[in-house]
Amino acid sequence: MEIWINPACSKCRSAISLLDAEGAEYTVRRYLEDVPSEDEIRDVLDRLGLEPWDITRTQEAAAKELGLKEWPRDETSRDRWLKALAEHPKLIQRPIITADDGTAVVGRTDEAVQDALSRNKS
């Protein structure tokens, strides 16, 4: 299991605390420093069952500069969104937990983190 975090994010710290409390084995990826490629983001989106705009933090300054709220949210614009997330990783919603069963969750709530944990128990 891997968790993408920003250490300054309270939701990320909360998810890590919960994983630690459960004794989970996981790898931390500080995605602002170890920036995921477009392909890695595409893979995580497939695992989440979401589109790039679903995990985009549209209130961030970079999102406003890019005018993301005005971008089309359709298949023809998907690569444009992926490129923006790879170039501006701060726009990626966090934390994202990839589970051993091939799925992933956006772990913004304790329930979502518990869901990821349950997917790792075999």
pLDDT at position 120: 79
Q: Are 97 and 113 a contacting pair, CB within 8 Å? A: yes
9 noted as active-site residue: yes
Are 9 and 105 spatial neighbours (Cβ–Cβ below 8 Å)?
no
Confidence bin at 122 (pLDDT 50/70/90): low
| 90-99 residue pLDDT tens | 999 999 999 8
CB neighbour burial string for 24-56, b if at least 16 within 10 angstroms, e if fewer: bebeebebbeebbebebbbebbebbeebbbebb
Catalytic residue among 1, 9, 50, 62: 9
pLDDT given at position 119 = 84
pTM of model > 0.85: yes
CA distance 98 to 114: 13
Task: List the structure tokens of 8.
Answer: 């300054």
Nearest to 91 by CA among 48, 47, 41: 41
User: What value does the mean pLDDT of the chain take?
Assistant: 95
pLDDT exceeds cutoff 80 at 121: no
**How large a percentage of the chain has pLDDT more than 90?**
93
d(CA 91, CA 4): 13
Reply yes or no on whether the pLDDT at 77 is more than 70. Answer: yes
